[in-house]
């Protein structure tokens, strides 16, 4: 099969082409790039599908009509609540069987975000000047308050997709960008969702809270939506325990933010740098660590890391050579060894700044497994400073029985999700390797993907899969691949007949706009922290001695926590088969939360 450039290889090709132009070496590099394209099989592009069951399910699936639970007003409009996992289309249909409500009923830990959608369905007449009025959330028992400033209201926007090579349930306008709210009109016979996100601060008193959203039209007609929120008595940590590596391409920002006519080059570059900074901070708010590739000898780069740590950064790449840069290592042994002192300095600087444990080197990206050059480079890095970690990213999974020496200096193995093989992963773990997973172009196998034209459950289930299979990290190739299209006007942002692949944030006028996908993925990352906290609590119980009634409680909680920490087949049967039932997932999450609370009560009881 003739290879087609994958996402990352295409971007690397474009980067190197740009450099080649500057060096007046365009023709030679172009030929080399074409040969590389023939050598590399594109991920998820025109591949043969190997999961017939998944394909049949997609063929048989029809979208469901929105059945509003509320009675139409005399003006003909309706307002109701849907979950954050529902995708409501312009024509008033949704992907999965809907479960709508007349109120928003939420539960949350402290330092957690929870979302829902308010859907307005107009009648025969337009609804003019739609306005929300959001109240504080009040705990009636204690008088505690969650200020309304912690609730945001955004418009769900739509982007048209094009028919892709992979199976989808629908081609047309898909809900995705979350747009700033301005005074707006809703045209006749339109179904318009609004996205509401509630942030629960760390210092909030646990318990039950209530509030309302009043939606008015033209200042006269109105509907009141009750909000109920239960706050659990524990705090989600700022830093995620599932490592993430999401690349942000700062060099393409200018494609959506052009230089203004009266703007000097220096001023323009300063504006681009500030915009890039905003996007990286926004990524961190969504529990996505940017890859960064910092220079540990640069005070400026170290300062950036310190600033990003405030927002939860706990994992990032170092160096300006490696997989992110098209494997741009020197081409002979002597030049590789000449890098020895540089990487030793990197290690010493990172240790001095207490950053070493948070870093990795993106040593190699894709290509042929078993490449002897990768072993030489990895060996040099380990000899220079043993604490530096080599991360490689391959479509497949190496079998260490085949050549353990080749693998010796590789610390982190990152495999493409469609190549999941539990037996090979177990072998790598036995060899002391840390396992990560990455997602690229949709492969049509049934595995979850972050493209726009998938069920929302795909985005949320990824961290659950990582927990189930003890996968320590998750990598994604790009969050802002904008150069080819205006992302507000077309989801077909790649050359590979994909929709929204490599694009999770939108270029707003003043910086990043979030998406439905970033919100739901963050929910999955927060779910992962529930598992982590439950495991920590269980280990604390095992380390304590209890007597009498407390001993009986402890034994019951140990049994229950053991069961809850196992993700069974009803939720994730395999990488290629998982539940689309929101209730099953949320019931498990709430059971975990309640068990964490009960364990904490027992651990903090008098005498403990």
What pLDDT is stored for residue 63 in this prediction?
78
Residue 415, φ and ψ in degrees, nearest 5: -110, 155
pLDDT > 80? residue 294:
yes
Q: Does residue 394 sit in the same domain as residue 250? A: yes
Tokens standing for 444? 């049509």
| Final residue before a domain boundary, out of 171, 201, 235 | 235
Q: How many CA atoms lie within 13 A of 132 on its CB side?
A: 24
Query: Which residues are registered as beta bridge partners of 513?
Result: 506
Is 578 within the bounds of a domain?
Answer: yes
- CA neighbor of 248 nearest in space, from 278, 220, 226: 278
| 307 Cβ contact partners less than 8 Å away, ≥ 6 residues apart | none
Count of the separate structural domains present in the chain: 4
Q: What is the pLDDT of residues 374-417, one digit of tens each?
A: 999 999 999 999 999 999 999 999 999 999 999 999 999 999 99
Q: Does residue 308 sit in the same domain as residue 346? A: yes
Q: Does residue 120 sit in the same domain as residue 180? A: yes
- Mean pLDDT value across the chain: 90
Is 525 within the bounds of a domain?
Answer: no
| Final residue before a domain boundary, out of 235, 261, 280 | 235
Q: Could you give the angle at the alpha carbon of 121 between the alpha carbons of 116 and 127, nearest 5°?
A: 115
Is 522 within the bounds of a domain?
Answer: no
Kindly report the length of the chain.
Answer: 608
| Final residue before a domain boundary, out of 193, 218, 235 | 235
Q: How confident is the model at residue 91 (pLDDT cuts 50, 70, 90)?
A: confident
Q: Does residue 263 sit in the same domain as residue 370? A: yes
Q: Does residue 271 sit in the same domain as residue 408? A: yes
Is 608 within the bounds of a domain?
Answer: no
What pLDDT is stored for residue 45 in this prediction?
41
Q: What is the pLDDT of residues 10-22, one digit of tens each?
A: 454 444 444 343 3
The tokens 């997989």 sit on which residue?
323
Is 524 within the bounds of a domain?
Answer: no
Is 52 within the bounds of a domain?
Answer: yes
Q: Does residue 311 sit in the same domain as residue 447? A: yes
Is 526 within the bounds of a domain?
Answer: no
Q: Does residue 273 sit in the same domain as residue 177? A: no
For residues 366-374, give the mean pLDDT: 95
Range of the domain at 145: 65-235
Is 521 within the bounds of a domain?
Answer: no
- CA neighbor of 476 nearest in space, from 440, 428, 448: 440
Whole-model pTM? 0.91
Q: Does residue 407 sit in the same domain as residue 490? A: yes
Q: From CA 557, how far away is CA 555, in angstroms rounded?
A: 5
Q: Does residue 597 sit in the same domain as residue 509? A: no
Q: Does residue 422 sit in the same domain as residue 494? A: yes
Q: Does residue 286 sit in the same domain as residue 425? A: yes
Q: Does residue 392 sit in the same domain as residue 342? A: yes
Q: From CA 212, how far away is CA 118, in angstroms rounded?
A: 12
């Amino acid at each position: 099969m003739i290879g087609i450039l994958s996402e990352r290889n295409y971007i690397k090709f474009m980067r190197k082409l740009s450099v080649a132009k500057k060096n007046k070496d365009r023709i030679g590099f172009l030929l080399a790039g074409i040969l590389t394209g023939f050598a590399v099989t594109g991920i998820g592009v025109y591949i043969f599908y190997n999961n017939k069951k998944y394909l049949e399910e997609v063929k048989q699936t029809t979208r469901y009509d929105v059945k509003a639970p509320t009675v139409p007003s005399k003006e003909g409009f309706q307002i109701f609540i849907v979950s954050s996992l529902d995708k409501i289309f312009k024509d008033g249909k949704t992907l999965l069987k809907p479960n709508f409500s007349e109120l928003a009923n939420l539960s949350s830990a402290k330092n957690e975000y929870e979302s829902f959608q308010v859907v307005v369905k107009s009648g025969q007449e337009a609804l003019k000047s739609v306005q929300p009025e959001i109240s504080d959330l009040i705990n009636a028992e204690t008088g505690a308050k969650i200020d309304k400033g912690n609730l945001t209201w955004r418009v769900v926007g739509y982007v048209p997709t094009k028919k892709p090579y992979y199976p989808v349930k629908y081609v047309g306008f898909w809900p995705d960008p979350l747009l700033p709210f301005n005074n707006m009109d809703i045209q006749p016979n339109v179904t318009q969702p609004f996205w509401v996100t509630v942030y629960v601060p760390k210092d909030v008193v646990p318990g039950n809270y209530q509030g309302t959203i009043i939606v008015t039209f033209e200042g006269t007609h109105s509907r009141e939506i009750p909000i109920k929120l239960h706050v659990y008595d524990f705090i989600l940590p700022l830093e995620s325990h599932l490592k993430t590596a999401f690349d942000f391409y700062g060099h393409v920002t200018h494609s959506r933010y052009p230089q203004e006519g009266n703007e000097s080059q220096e001023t323009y570059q300063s504006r681009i740098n500030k915009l890039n900074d905003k996007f990286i901070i926004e990524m961190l708010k969504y529990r996505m660590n940017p890859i960064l590739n910092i220079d540990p000898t640069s005070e400026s780069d170290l300062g950036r890391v310190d600033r990003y740590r405030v927002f939860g950064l706990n994992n990032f790449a170092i160096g300006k050579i490696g997989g992110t840069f098209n494997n741009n290592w020197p081409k002979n042994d002597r030049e590789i060894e000449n890098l020895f002192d540089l990487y030793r300095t990197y290690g010493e600087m990172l240790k001095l700044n207490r950053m070493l444990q948070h870093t990795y080197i993106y040593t190699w990206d894709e290509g042929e497994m078993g490449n002897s050059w990768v072993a030489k480079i990895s060996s040099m890095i380990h000899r220079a400073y043993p604490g530096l970690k080599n991360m490689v990213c391959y479509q497949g999974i190496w079998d260490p029985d085949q050549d353990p020496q080749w693998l010796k200096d590789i610390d982190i193995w990152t495999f493409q999700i469609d190549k999941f093989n539990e037996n090979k992963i177990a072998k790598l773990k036995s060899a002391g390797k840390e396992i990560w997973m990455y997602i690229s172009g949709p492969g049509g196998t049934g595995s979850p993907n972050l493209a726009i034209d998938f069920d929302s459950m795909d985005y949320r289930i990824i961290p659950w899969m990582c927990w189930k299979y003890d996968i320590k990290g998750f990598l994604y190739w790009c969050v802002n691949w904008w150069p080819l299209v205006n992302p507000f006007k077309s989801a077909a942002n790649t050359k590979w007949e994909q929709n929204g692949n490599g694009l999770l944030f939108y270029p707003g006028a003043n910086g990043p706009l979030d998406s439905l996908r970033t919100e739901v993925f963050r929910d999955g990352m927060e779910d992962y922290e529930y598992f982590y906290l439950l495991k920590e609590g269980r280990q604390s119980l095992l380390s304590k001695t209890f007597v009498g009634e407390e001993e009986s409680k402890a034994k019951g909680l140990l049994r229950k926590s053991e069961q809850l920490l196992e993700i069974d087949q009803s939720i994730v049967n395999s990488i290629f088969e998982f539940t689309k039932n929101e209730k099953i997932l949320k019931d498990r999450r709430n059971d975990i939360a309640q068990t964490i609370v009960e364990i904490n009560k027992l651990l903090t009881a008098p005498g403990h």
